[in-house]
């Protein structure tokens, strides 16, 4: 029997704490004894704390301090609006923690797929924590990165739908830590897999003489309801024939890679009962079944012989599989008919390497504007396998970088009829990357390829709320409701005659007074606290305008606070 040494040590320590508590409890009571007993309780709690998993020193960022005293809001840069039909997409400039907190108000449980390519924390100016790059000499290099990423992943989990999935690119510097962290946040039972991606060909000038040519893509489902990987299009070819009406079938090789010595019961000659043709077993590749099983299959019409069907070019007997039995077997095994077609972690060669990502970006910019971008085909493949049967899927990337996810999704839509997938990208504007690279890439690829896609560009701003009553800043928040409504509903109010928004009594009165000017208006978004009069309701109804009440949850937490 194994002995849990750590448990023994904890129990010994708790026993000593109990002795100290007994001693202090027997002493005269004063402020000091009360404090000491409180300290002991804290020690006990700590001793009984986490027993397994990732241990790190928690750190706070400057953005945490900002969010303690301010609430984030969105402001549109209308000059950067791209109106080119198709789905409405969004690009948010600002600290992605603030962006995620806003998305938590508008998209909790609504995101189908998240892809992120966070900083890898190599200690070579690739991970900026607050205003400084983290180097290998920092004693808390891993703790700071884990603190940084964990805050964002916790919100990411809230954003995913119950059938959603997250893909995270990472290299060897933090892969092990990230796996443990994600096991904790998403639940290790929802770990779907880890895909190795070859980013380059081997280098020679490397430590220890081993070239680290691969990165990793961790995959976690939000819950067991995620099943896109097993709902891929079934590539098996089924036949329809008149002799077996209303029952499709396929065939499978009836031999097995074994020798006669290994499977003597499967080494026999099969005779076609219809014409007497003989098919001897191969000594090095015997039949996959015994003679008794063959007779059973013959009685069930599950053996197909050469010549049975003109369209089948076969030279030996084949085993027939009926589609309904395939589906029944798959349902029993996976709970899902298409489970017979699983996704492999081996990426197809066309996803490319870093050099293809550089070429993708180079085709749009004359100079190098972003280091080591992911290839478009790689992210397109992840969108493909992660959003099967979700033609209207919503994809989020909150480490958007150069905007590869946007280009990948638009290419996927263009190549797949009926696909209306859309994206939300979030990135900071360090060195003007959001404006000059991410946005510009989206704009240029839409122009170049003629993609039907539109884009709204938002910036994160902050309203101070500390030491102020809600009514003192409520009007300021009201000015930013429009952007949240657009973001949540994927719509555009600017120069759009088909929809309108009213948030105040004055705006409602103005809308009703000029309602004949809104002859094309089909939908009106109305603030939750507005109470239209009977006449106003009649005017809206007579113009056949659908009313959508804007929810009060955007800033409810501030009201309640």
What spatial distance separates the first Cα and last Cα of the chain, rounded to whole Å?
Answer: 54
The residue assigned the tokens 């510097």 is: 173
Report how far residue 288's alpha carbon sits from residue 254's, in angstroms, rounded to the nearest whole number. 6
DSSP state letters, 17-73: HHHHHHHHHHSPP-HHHHHHHHHHHHHHHHHTS--SS--------HHHHHHHHEEEE
As beta bridge partners, residue 147 has: none
Q: Give all strands (DSSP E) within 361-428, no chain letters.
A: 394-397, 422-427
Where along the chain do its domains lie?
A: 5-47, 62-232+344-464, 239-340, 492-560
Inter-residue contact 316 to 255 (CB < 8 Å): yes
Q: Give all strands (DSSP E) within 323-450, no chain letters.
A: 394-397, 422-427
Inter-residue contact 375 to 360 (CB < 8 Å): yes
Beta pairing class for 303-304 and 318-322: antiparallel
Report how far residue 303's alpha carbon sits from residue 317's, in angstroms, rounded to the nearest whole number. 7
Which candidate, 181, 180, 193, places its Cα nearest to that of 220? 193
Report how far residue 408's alpha carbon sits from residue 361's, in angstroms, rounded to the nearest whole number. 12
pLDDT at residue 231, rounded to an integer:
47
Under the phi-then-psi rule, with left for phi > 0, alpha for psi from -120 to 50, and beta for the rest, what region is 559? alpha
Report how far residue 134's alpha carbon sits from residue 484's, in angstroms, rounded to the nearest whole number. 34
How far, in whole angstroms, is CA 520 from its chain's centroid? 37
pLDDT in tens, the chain (561 residues): 666 777 888 888 889 989 998 998 888 888 888 888 888 888 888 888 777 788 888 899 999 999 999 999 999 999 999 999 999 999 999 999 999 999 999 999 999 999 999 999 988 888 888 778 899 888 899 999 999 999 999 999 999 999 999 999 999 999 999 999 999 999 999 999 999 999 998 887 778 888 889 999 999 999 877 766 754 455 678 999 999 998 999 999 999 888 888 889 999 999 999 999 999 999 888 999 999 999 999 999 999 999 999 999 999 999 999 988 887 887 776 655 554 556 788 898 899 999 999 999 999 998 999 999 999 999 999 999 999 889 999 999 999 999 999 999 999 999 999 999 999 999 999 999 999 999 999 999 999 999 999 999 999 999 999 888 988 898 899 999 999 999 999 999 998 999 999 999 999 999 999 999 888 999 999 998 899 999 999 999 999 999 999 988 898 888 765
**Which 8-state DSSP code applies to residue 239?**
E
Inter-residue contact 255 to 285 (CB < 8 Å): yes
Q: What CATH class has 62-232+344-464?
A: alpha beta
Which candidate, 387, 432, 390, 430, places its Cα nearest to that of 405? 387
Give the CB-side neighbour count of residue 102, counting CA atoms within 13 A.
32
pLDDT at residue 48, rounded to an integer:
82
**Which 8-state DSSP code applies to residue 509?**
H
Report how far residue 3's alpha carbon sits from residue 250's, in angstroms, rounded to the nearest whole number. 55
Inter-residue contact 423 to 397 (CB < 8 Å): yes
Inter-residue contact 129 to 148 (CB < 8 Å): yes
pLDDT at residue 500, rounded to an integer:
95
As beta bridge partners, residue 285 has: 282
Please enumerate in sequence order all residues whose Cβ is within 8 A of that of 388, keeping only pairs 6 or more positions apart, or say none.
Answer: 228, 229, 231, 232, 233
pLDDT at residue 293, rounded to an integer:
94
């Amino acid at each position: 029997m194994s002995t849990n040494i750590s448990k023994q040590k904890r129990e010994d320590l708790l026993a000593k704490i109990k002795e100290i508590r007994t001693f202090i409890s027997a002493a005269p009571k004063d402020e000091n004894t009360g404090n000491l007993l409180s300290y002991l309780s804290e020690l006990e709690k700590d001793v009984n704390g986490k027993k397994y998993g990732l241990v790190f020193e928690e750190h706070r960022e400057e953005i945490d301090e900002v969010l303690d005293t301010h609430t984030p809001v969105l402001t549109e840069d209308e000059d950067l609006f791209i109106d080119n039909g198709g789905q409405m997409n969004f690009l948010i400039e600002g600290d992605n923690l603030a962006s995620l907190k806003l998305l938590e108000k508008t998209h909790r449980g609504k995101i189908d797929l998240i892809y992120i390519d966070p900083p890898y924390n190599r200690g070579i100016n690739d991970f900026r924590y607050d205003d400084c790059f983290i180097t290998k000499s920092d004693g808390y290099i891993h703790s700071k990165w884990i603190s940084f990423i964990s805050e964002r992943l916790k919100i990411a989990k809230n954003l995913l739908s119950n059938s959603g999935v997250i893909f995270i690119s990472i290299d060897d510097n933090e892969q092990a830590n990230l796996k443990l962290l994600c096991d904790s946040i998403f639940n290790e039972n929802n770990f779907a897999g880890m895909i190795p991606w070859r980013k380059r060909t081997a280098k020679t000038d490397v430590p220890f003489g081993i070239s680290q040519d691969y990165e990793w893509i961790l995959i976690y489902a939000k819950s067991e309801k995620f099943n896109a990987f097993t709902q891929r299009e079934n590539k098996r070819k089924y036949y329809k024939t008149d002799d077996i009406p209303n029952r499709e079938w396929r065939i499978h090789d009836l031999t097995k890679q074994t020798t006669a010595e290994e499977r003597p019961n499967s080494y026999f000659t099969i005779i076609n009962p219809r014409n007497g043709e003989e098919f001897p077993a191969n000594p090095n590749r015997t039949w996959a079944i015994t003679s008794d099983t063959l007779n059973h299959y013959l009685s069930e019409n599950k053996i197909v012989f050469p010549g049975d069907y003109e369209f089948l070019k076969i030279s030996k007997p084949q085993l027939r599989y009926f589609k309904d039995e395939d589906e029944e077997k798959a349902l029993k095994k996976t709970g899902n008919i298409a489970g017979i077609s699983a996704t492999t972690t081996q990426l197809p060669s066309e996803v490319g390497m870093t050099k293809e990502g550089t070429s993708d970006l180079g085709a749009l910019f004359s100079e190098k504007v972003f280091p080591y971008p992911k290839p478009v085909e790689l992210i397109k493949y992840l969108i493909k396998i992660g959003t099967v049967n979700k033609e209207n899927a919503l994809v989020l990337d909150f480490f958007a970088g150069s905007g590869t996810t946007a280009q990948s999704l638009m290419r996927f839509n263009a190549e797949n009829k009926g696909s209306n997938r859309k994206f939300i990208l979030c990135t900071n504007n360090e060195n003007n990357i959001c404006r000059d690279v991410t946005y510009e890439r989206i704009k240029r690829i839409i122009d170049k390829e003629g993609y039907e896609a539109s884009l709204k560009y938002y910036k994160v701003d902050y309203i101070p709320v500390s030491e102020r009553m809600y009514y003192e800043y409520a009007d300021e928040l009201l000015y930013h409701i429009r952007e949240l409504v657009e973001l949540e509903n994927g719509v555009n109010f600017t120069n759009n005659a088909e929809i309108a928004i009213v948030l105040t009594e004055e705006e409602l009165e103005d809308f009703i007074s000029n309602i004949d000017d809104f002859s094309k208006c089909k939908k009106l978004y109305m603030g939750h606290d507005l109470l239209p009069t009977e006449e106003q309701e009649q005017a809206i109804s007579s113009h056949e305008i659908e009313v959508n009440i804007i929810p009060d949850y955007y800033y409810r937490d501030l009201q309640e606070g």
